[in-house]
Structure 1
């Protein structure tokens, strides 16, 4: 059985129990060299008298949250509760293993001197340990007592421990133990776990073809895995069968028949862990960013420190669970990042990882009107102000180089204001006519450029419909783009891993930021986006879940519901929809907003903050939204917006402007007035 590491250990290093003291190993190495045959005899006697070290394989890879809470031990050791006795392991698997790994296991001693000498020559030519030449006993010693590093000192200790193993235990015990601890890939240690993983059956039910394929895996689990590359797995199976013929275990005809026998591979399921969608992202990031192979990952002795906030993760999972209908196939995704660093604090990719490990937080879907946060950022960068007005009515736009193309825009339910709207009103109401007009006026190419600059990596086309979010992007991309606004115009790179500890080294993430939007435009957009959660805004229905001010934008298409928003210390993007692109009902199209608000309400209580201060160079002006001009005391409805000096309105509202003072009427004017009144 694998020994579980101490769960209370808080050190960022992974320490391994050393089987013997350094002084003892020095003595056992140098005494024989100094004393020759008598020394060898003394060494064997010493190894026979000394007890074997604690039989514990390498520590598993540990994945921790930001506060040290264990998310996962990335290994499936213990998948089968008890080791399988040799009597339950098929004879064909035993023979296949012996044939391909150590044909002279039962005849030689712990070390194959011929193979060891050949390996030493190869290693000397390369200047490092590249070939092992290990017997089954040596491999078991390495798995039980040593690290996976390739050094000469470890090879010497491996050889000595192999001798000690054979002095203490019979060959059958060693072979049985080897078959129960050797690594077969994808986190499966031992033949029983491997049999369950690859063939979904107990090891004693394996046929010859399956045994030969399994026996070939320890040489390179990540290379020869039938889950990864069946062609290479079959090629390795053929090598094993050929070795079985060469060692007399099979006839050529039996080997050929086994090779032709169909192999049925089971569906692979990733081990169950906390925050499984996030953990999957963190593991993939560690593998790609730090060049950690899957084999190294599963063989252990790594510690992956992640950015996950356990409280926020629980809040995200709870918000989705409590909001989505119980008996429905509708799915949801949520991703929350720190806009200052890009650290992913919570991530949910679906309702149930075990039934559907597909990570929807990374999957592209139409963002709908949440794209307007990016659109209006581009507009403010290109001369627009919050006071710009567009008439909200059914509109057909003419566009193209020759003005020969038309695009008719509809608002939700074909409901229009039938009057000019300011940018704040258009954003709060999510007016589509205003959006398309802005897109065409600014230039779709400039909008695409702004989107990519803010963190959208998916392909976007410079069409009029770009303004309405018709080009698919992922929730993580939308969170990244809005993080640029939340971070005062600095773009961050989202990441799930802060550090990876390996034996002898620490690999750290160094997040970088880049200014891509001016602080003035970032603040203007943030202030405008607060209107979505105020009366008459599309997100006002969920404002009661919140405890402080926030900026946000809703979005809806026929098949997708979204809400993306932020506070100074957290950005959250939520998507709801069906994997099959089934149209949403009216009720379903409003599910993203309560998920977002429930989660952000918890985050606000967990992470208090002070709201933004206006960026330098901006000045507040109160305007009348009906005219877009400076408000007068007579204006009943007003809004306060921020302007770069020189772009603010300069005229007073003409509708509610006070009438000029009246002059004294002449007798003639009085008579004319009296006549008009009565006749």
Structure 2
């Protein structure tokens, strides 16, 4: 055996080289020779996994990845670090935040100065100073603004979860966070908290930092700082705080609401004991003093802390801006006293017009209530549909500081205003057209105890109806038929996913087609949804605050317009075309008496579209409408929807009576005040106009279709009808009595045009209005002279008739539509016949 080091030969089987002493490799074990086939089929021998090396390699990768990720987060945090200012001056003076409108002009100043009075450290009881240091940062007087052991304890959890789950804040870091940062639990902000803590520790002494902290910290019940808290809980000054009182207050910063002694006394006492034990541990008091303090009376004497009750200008809008900023992680202290510049999309002119319109029309329709709140309320949202910018928001008739906002807080049944969102737009996307015909006949029976359901307020079933006519007069029966035909789940999910309506599963029932909702939605959500139409199918995210800037100039928050395409521009245009018909000032032809568009009195003298809505009993009234540049949503209703509404003039509070005039006033006045030019809705490519559509078949009008039943309409290319409709048919009747079918031996006959009976109608249910145009069902008796039709009785023919012998056709005269007598008088806007609009 040859030695691998010296090359000398050794006796076979030797373990060490006899020349140099090196350990020799073990000889290979002999094995029988393998056959060719065996060699081919024998799998290679697997190598043993060295798990120790794998674990070491994995640990190395984790360490490197953690170091890399930490480095990345550190650099990102350092780049956006706020600049340290004179914090002592900042703390002493307090910087009011300023709200700016969309034109960059200041419109309101926010402040919490009445909630906090700064006191010097020497005016704060040593009990309070010792208690807060013991429980929040026992190394406060020795550390450099951070606690290394706490940092290492929290770092592993934070890095492995990639978020700031563990806290390690010193008093200095907490002060930095309070003054400059938002507690949004990200690693970037935790790193910034650490870096700012170092800066504060470098620039200020420990007494200065503790002074600022005790005057800034939130201690619950609206109390910022020790002075306000001492008054709120004990009606004491900070210098008079006893050990039991100080220990209780020192436990509050961790969770002010949870440990509030006025609402959770037992939890507050448990937290107080934790503070007292910490004071014992770090040498501030003895165990006996801790026990005595725990059992001593707290002397609770609750006082109302003076709150910021100033009603700022444009209160509804600014109240919501404050709520939005709180949702982004800003604390009330930052929002009011942080010296922030808050840039919004508020348009003061639009806001004032909207508030005045609400006040005028609510007083006109319902009078001025002497109660604290009026029973009858109204709310408005005004939006730029192309950017999502909310220009104005009115939450009620009278503003109560941080009271109920009916534009955002009130969830109400929509009535028919939901029809474009849950019925008609989904149908168009599914392939229907605005001229698709639904048979308005009762087919649903005995629902909710009603003999026929759904039904319209005018109790008329009209027969053949195009979608656009049904939407214009807000026909309930057609809306329910349509949702049933396209699929309840499909229409419901479309409204939720494409229009963003937060409808719960409990609303998944056919009544939703006409706004029968258990939970309801608010006018803010409805306005957002309708804004999708003038924006060519793109639903924009609402935009209230565009930017928040710190006193240092650092941008703390920023938002820009962004939206999601939900359906095509062609679908949006067709829906707008249909909703323009809602504002048509004249009755609609060919569909029976009282066929008045529900918004016929609400035109604004330029192209506009919209939809009315009225809940059962007129408890809620809606109008959501728009022009190319502006969308306005209006809701009106009694406060809790608890009773039907009638105006002081005796009118039922339908959508066009109670909500429509508010919409109309806002649109007209904003257009004039802001010089908004009148524009047509832009028509996208891919559309085709067809001038000769039958409103009873939805197809190309045939030769028998009367002129009054022929209309033109826009279609998405490829969906326009190409075949002729045959809902009008010629039938041979007795010339002397067209109510009888002719047969041989009955004398002269004529060919008359009749309407085919609706296939969905069946015997035993109410007849649709257009049954007067159906063919006769009785035949004449041969050999008898038929009696002529009674004078003045409408004929059963719907269009044309021609004199004709029994042996063949004669010349056909021009057709003339036979319609029922018109209603006597045109109703005023307040008494217009309604369906549910």
Tell me if both proteins adopt one fold, taking TM over 0.5 as the criterion: yes
TM alignment of 1:170-569, pairs within 5 A? 183-184=218-219, 188-191=223-226, 193-194=228-229, 213-214=248-249, 216-217=251-252, 235-239=270-274, 247=285, 252-253=291-292, 255-258=294-297, 272-288=311-327, 290-293=328-331, 297=335, 300-324=338-362, 325-327=367-369, 328-354=374-400, 357-362=403-408, 363-374=410-421, 375-392=423-440, 395-397=442-444, 408-412=453-457, 414-416=458-460, 418-452=462-496, 453-460=498-505, 461-471=507-517, 472-502=520-550, 504-535=554-585, 536-543=596-603, 546-558=604-616, 559-569=619-629
Separation in structure 1 between the aligned mates of residue 131 and residue 798 of structure 2, nearest angstrom? 95
- CA 1:615–1:69 in structure 2 vs 1: closer, same or farther (change >3 Å)? same
Unaligned runs of 5+ in 2: 1-79, 156-166, 182-191, 586-595, 648-652, 729-752, 754-796, 812-837
C-alpha displacement of 1:55: 6.7
Query: Does structure 1 conserve the Cα–Cα contact (< 8 Å) formed by 2:579 and 2:610?
Result: yes
**Deviations 1:319-361, CA, capped at 9 Å, x for gaps:** 2222223203222222233222322222223334426622332
User: More displaced, 438-447 or 449-458?
Assistant: 449-458
Query: Does structure 1 conserve the Cα–Cα contact (< 8 Å) formed by 2:146 and 2:172?
Result: no
For residue 595 of structure 1, what is the aligned residue in structure 2?
A: 662
For residue 41 of structure 1, what is the aligned residue in structure 2?
A: none
Higher relative contact order (CA 8 A, sep 6+): 1
For residue 67 of structure 1, what is the aligned residue in structure 2?
A: 103
Query: Does structure 2 conserve the Cα–Cα contact (< 8 Å) formed by 1:96 and 1:215?
Result: no
- CA 1:264–1:427 in structure 2 vs 1: closer, same or farther (change >3 Å)? same
For residue 643 of structure 1, what is the aligned residue in structure 2?
A: 715
- CA 1:570–1:231 in structure 2 vs 1: closer, same or farther (change >3 Å)? farther
Helix, strand or coil at the partner of 2:533: helix
Query: Does structure 2 conserve the Cα–Cα contact (< 8 Å) formed by 1:116 and 1:134?
Result: no
Provide the aligned C-alpha RMSD in A.
5.0
**Deviations 1:360-401, CA, capped at 9 Å, x for gaps:** 3234211110111111111222232222334546x241699x
Helix, strand or coil at the partner of 1:563: strand
C-alpha displacement of 1:562: 1.2
C-alpha displacement of 1:618: 1.8
Query: Does structure 2 conserve the Cα–Cα contact (< 8 Å) formed by 1:305 and 1:499?
Result: yes
- CA 1:123–1:63 in structure 2 vs 1: closer, same or farther (change >3 Å)? farther
User: More displaced, 228-237 or 374-383?
Assistant: 228-237
1:579 is aligned to 2:639: yes
C-alpha displacement of 1:184: 4.3
- CA 1:662–1:420 in structure 2 vs 1: closer, same or farther (change >3 Å)? closer
For residue 612 of structure 1, what is the aligned residue in structure 2?
A: 681
- CA 1:359–1:57 in structure 2 vs 1: closer, same or farther (change >3 Å)? same
- CA 1:624–1:647 in structure 2 vs 1: closer, same or farther (change >3 Å)? closer
- CA 1:258–1:437 in structure 2 vs 1: closer, same or farther (change >3 Å)? same
Query: Does structure 1 conserve the Cα–Cα contact (< 8 Å) formed by 2:480 and 2:510?
Result: yes
- CA 1:261–1:479 in structure 2 vs 1: closer, same or farther (change >3 Å)? same
C-alpha displacement of 1:482: 1.4
**Deviations 1:219-269, CA, capped at 9 Å, x for gaps:** 776886679987765554455566799648977455424359696888988
- CA 1:202–1:309 in structure 2 vs 1: closer, same or farther (change >3 Å)? farther
C-alpha displacement of 1:310: 2.3
Name which one, 1 or 2, has greater alpha-carbon Rg: 2
C-alpha displacement of 1:513: 2.5
For residue 45 of structure 1, what is the aligned residue in structure 2?
A: none
Separation in structure 2 between the aligned mates of residue 500 and residue 230 of structure 1, nearest angstrom? 39
Separation in structure 2 between the aligned mates of residue 585 and residue 348 of structure 1, nearest angstrom? 21
User: More displaced, 112-121 or 531-540?
Assistant: 112-121
Helix, strand or coil at the partner of 1:561: strand
C-alpha displacement of 1:528: 0.6
Query: Does structure 1 conserve the Cα–Cα contact (< 8 Å) formed by 2:115 and 2:308?
Result: no
Separation in structure 1 between the aligned mates of residue 721 and residue 306 of structure 2, nearest angstrom? 63
C-alpha displacement of 1:153: 7.1
User: What number of residue pairs does the alignment pair up?
Assistant: 590
Separation in structure 1 between the aligned mates of residue 86 and residue 303 of structure 2, nearest angstrom? 42
**Deviations 1:24-55, CA, capped at 9 Å, x for gaps:** xxxxxxxxxxxxxxxxxxxxxxxxxxxx9687
Query: Does structure 1 conserve the Cα–Cα contact (< 8 Å) formed by 2:276 and 2:290?
Result: no
**Deviations 1:408-437, CA, capped at 9 Å, x for gaps:** 11212x432644332222112111111111
Separation in structure 2 between the aligned mates of residue 250 and residue 596 of structure 1, nearest angstrom? 69
Separation in structure 1 between the aligned mates of residue 662 and residue 626 of structure 2, nearest angstrom? 14
Query: Does structure 1 conserve the Cα–Cα contact (< 8 Å) formed by 2:82 and 2:180?
Result: no
Separation in structure 1 between the aligned mates of residue 710 and residue 236 of structure 2, nearest angstrom? 74
Helix, strand or coil at the partner of 1:642: strand
Query: Does structure 2 conserve the Cα–Cα contact (< 8 Å) formed by 1:16 and 1:58?
Result: no
TM-score normalised by the chain length of structure 2: 0.59
Helix, strand or coil at the partner of 2:317: helix
Separation in structure 2 between the aligned mates of residue 549 and residue 115 of structure 1, nearest angstrom? 73
Query: Does structure 2 conserve the Cα–Cα contact (< 8 Å) formed by 1:112 and 1:134?
Result: no
Helix, strand or coil at the partner of 1:427: helix
Separation in structure 1 between the aligned mates of residue 443 and residue 376 of structure 2, nearest angstrom? 35
Helix, strand or coil at the partner of 1:447: helix
Query: Does structure 1 conserve the Cα–Cα contact (< 8 Å) formed by 2:636 and 2:659?
Result: yes
- CA 1:159–1:233 in structure 2 vs 1: closer, same or farther (change >3 Å)? farther
